[in-house]
Structure 1
Amino acid sequence: MKKNRLFVFVGFFLINIVNPSLAQELLNPSQVVLHIGKEGANPRNSEGSFIQLNDGRILFAYSKFEGGSGDHASAFIAGRYSSDGGNTWTKKDEVIVSNEGGMNVMSVSFLRLQDGSIALFYARKNSLDDCTPYMRISHDEAVTWSEPVSIISDTEGYFVLNNDRVIQLPGGRLLAPVSLHKVAGKDFSMRGRIYCYYSDDSGETWQRSMELPNPKEVVLQEPGLVSLKTGTIKMWLRTDRGVQYLSESHDNGNTWQEVYASDIPSPRSPASLRRIPKTGDLLLIWNNNDGSIDGKASFRTPLTAAVSKDEGNSWIHIKELENDPDGFFCYTAISFLDDEVLLGYMAANRLELKEKIPLVLRKMSLHEFYE
């Protein structure tokens, strides 16, 4: 036994000399660092986002539901902090945004703006006819927040802005991709009308892009954005067609090309796509199935990661992160910490969705996504 320990120690010592980052990864394999809602009374915890603060702490905010597990139950925006790179987290929730909506506030996006301030985006849901994304700004590292500004002022309706979705382009423009599902006097439609709202004055005022062309009337929902190295903005969307759908804008989000099918298998479930700062590659987190498992288009397992080295044209290093056949994994938030990655996502049992929806924070080495 002592001899084996000596070999392990010597091996690790040599690795540390040759490749210190790999040695650190061996010490810190993928691990769940926080499990919110597995125990406790509140029925649902979901749709969060990370922000790294200037004092070294990390804030994770999420939708904490109290009145039920459905999208229209009472909820507020809660926050937890980490002071050690995401290894441990505060035990109690801090109220980031109280429930200022007739139904709830939910679905958080943080964004560090180019002027150094922090933007917070969330949905304020008053009724089935009125769900509107709002923005607040903090100039003191998330200690206090400005009064909310509505992203949408040109019409009233039920707009969906997913968590961890808003981006800022190199020129300063903010882009918020939304899906409109209902206006007063009309029935709710699963086929969303897709727009990007954009701001060129740090969020003080917002304008609407052209509607995403959808001549084949595909069911489109929950859009997300990534800025490509060419300057093209790529949008991805969940559908019921067994794959993720895509569109592109070549004018900073003003106009969009006709939506088309990708070759990324997917149920009717959202994907998350971010650029890896360390490598410049793209990281995709999604449910790698075509929706045909048990005939359920919303079957959200396994939770899978893949990397693209060619701006999303192809995907490699496909890796399962969660593979419970009864699992329900979705709405992933992503944060990069040099050689490590933090993920936050719903991690429920699909048979218990009406009773309990926990949320998991997972810490991984960047190296794991390239294995």
Structure 2
Amino acid sequence: MNEKLTYCLQVSLFVANTLIIGLLISCSSIRDANRSSDYSPKTVLKLPPSSDNPRNSEGDFITLQDGRILFVYSHYTSGSGEDHDPAFLAGRYSEDGGKTWTNEDETIIENEGGMNVMSVSLLRLQNGNIALFYLKKNSTEDCIPMMRISKDEALSWSDALPCITDKKGYFVLNNDRVIQLQDGRLLMAVALHQIPGGKWENKADLYCYYSDDNGQTWQASSKVPDNTDIITQEPGLIEMKDGRVMMYIRASGGFQQLSYSSDRGQTWSYIKASNIPSPLSPATIERIPSTGYWLLVWNNNDGSNPEIKDKRTPITIAFSKDEGRTWEKIKNIHADPDGWYCYIAIHFVNKKNILLSYCAGSQSQRTHLAVTENTLLHIKWIYE
């Protein structure tokens, strides 16, 4: 009887232990699944248009010394939201690493242009100050990048300084586009579409402007050489490990185009096609601080799908360990064929999280550039 009782107890303990282990494994799997899902992109701020605010677009981020994140963007106030309609620069704040944002706009820069002010780049300079860059648009023959400096963490801004004084015309500087090299030089890549008395050219002349005195004065590079008929627009820049600077260029022909400078932005190589398939839409590339890898966000659309040929969808992310020679872990953030995703800003919150901002309108609703969406994602989601 005792042997039977002992056997029954042993069996009962075995069954109980098995059930407990199974339950623990199940709970662990659920936790792992939840942890994995927490890495995926999440929309943290969406700014749709309204009757008195027909478009919100082209913004950038800066982390302040108190830990808050400031997002400044182009807030349009009337018209239909076209590029030349009135707009000012508005700001929103986050106190929790980008998870939530203030509900009301703060005016950062009033509309001081004949048409508008738009297209924001924010940069923490090596001297600790914050530089704010934007376009002051007076007319289709007068659109110049401006710079203001804040020495008190965006509480106030210096008077505006023009970054281009050697030429007149309609220059485009995209949002989140100004960089500072390791040696302190500031660089911005611009596209010149029209000069006074001339006609608008979709194929822009590309230049790089550079400053060695923290933006007080700027010099022009030679024009980026180009012996193609490809449309070139909206360039961006990234510094390479060997000291060269790579310019990546919105272009026709099915791929982003590239040019390189070996003298810190003063002269450039002839443009050539990259390995980044793309419609005529800007990309953004930045270095991940924690790893040194390059992060690319763009429209991964080679035109082979007739449903989305030449459309700015999907919006895709990838990284490169070899400075753009190859790209890994290519995955879509949004792939709605009706979507319209562009004018991307990348901000590294810490070693774990990345904030993205981009236009996220609808083709069918004709809100292409009118909607701005901010997305927070965990860097592990990129590497999964």
Range of TM-score over shorter length: over 0.9
Structure of larger gyration radius: 2
Deviations, residues 154-196 of structure 1 (Å, cap 9, x unaligned): 1110000000000000111000100000001111000100000
Give 1:291 deviation, angstroms: 4.1
Q: Secondary structure at the match of 1:360?
A: strand
Tell whether 2:283 aligns with 1:271.
Answer: yes
Q: Which runs of 5+ in 2 are unaligned?
A: 1-19
Match of 1:19? none
Q: Distance in 1 between matches of 2:232 and 2:309?
A: 14
CA RMSD of aligned residues (A): 2.2
2:74 aligns to what?
Answer: 63
The aligned counterpart of 1:99 is 111
Q: From the superposition, tell whether residues 40 and 31 of structure 1 become closer, same or farther in structure 2 (CA, over 3 Å).
A: farther
1:33 is the counterpart of 2:38: no
Cα offset, 1:144, TM superposition:
0.2
1-structure distance, mates of 2:26, 2:175: 43
> 1:278, CA displacement in angstroms?
1.1
List gaps (5 residues or longer) in structure 1.
16-21
SS in 2 for 1:334: strand
Counterpart in the other structure of 1:42: 53
Measure, in 1, the Cα distance between the counterparts of 2:47 and 2:329.
29
Aligned identity (percent) is 50
Pair 1:369 & 2:382 matched: yes
Q: 1:273 to 1:316 in 2, by over 3 A?
A: same
* 2:380 match: secondary structure: helix
- Give the structure 2 partner of residue 311 of structure 1: 323
Contact 2:190–2:208, Cα closer than 8 Å, also in 1: yes
Counterpart of 2:122, as a letter, is F
1:60 is paired with a residue whose SS is strand
Which of 256, 261, 266 aligns to 1:254? It is: 266
- Write out per-residue CA displacement over residues 277-334 of structure 1, whole angstroms, 9 at most, x where no aligned residue: 1111000000011246549764100000111000111111000001000100001110
The question of whether the paired residues in 2 share the 8 Å contact of 1:37 and 1:356 is answered with no
Whether the aligned pair in 1 keeps the contact of 2:60 and 2:121 (CA below 8 Å) is yes
| Larger displacement relative to structure 2 (289-298 or 237-246) | 289-298
Q: Name 2:357's counterpart in structure 1.
A: 344
How many pairs were matched up?
363
TM-score, with length taken from structure 1: 0.93
> Equivalent residues in 2 for 1:278-357 (5 A)?
278-291=290-303, 293-294=305-306, 298-337=310-349, 338-353=351-366, 357=370
CA distance in 2, matches of 1:293, 1:198: 40
Per-residue deviation, 1:351 = 2.5
Matched residue, 1:177:
189
Match of 1:140 among 147, 152, 170: 152
* Map of 2:12 onto structure 1: none
Which of 116, 125, 132 is the aligned partner of 2:128? Answer: 116
Contact 1:25 1:365 in 2 (8 A): no
Query: TM-score when scaled to structure 2?
Result: 0.90
The residue number in structure 1 matching 2:232 is: 220
Distance in 2 (CA, whole Å) between partners of 1:355 and 1:334 is 20
> CA 1:145–1:51 in 2, change beyond 3 Å: closer, same or farther?
same
Are 1:186 and 2:209 matched, yes or no? Answer: no
Amino acid at match of 1:80: R
Q: What secondary structure sits across from 1:131 in the alignment?
A: strand
Distance 1:354 1:365, change over 3 A: closer
1:357 to partner: Cα distance: 1.6
Query: Equivalent residue for 1:231?
Result: 243
- Say whether the 8 Å CA contact 2:250–2:282 is kept in structure 1: yes
Residues 268 and 291, structure 1, Cα contact 8 Å, conserved in 2: no
Contact 1:47–1:163 (CA under 8 A) maintained in structure 2: yes
Q: Offset of 1:29 from its aligned partner? A: 3.6
Q: Which residue of 1 aligns with 2:373?
A: 360
Q: CA deviation at 1:9?
A: 4.7
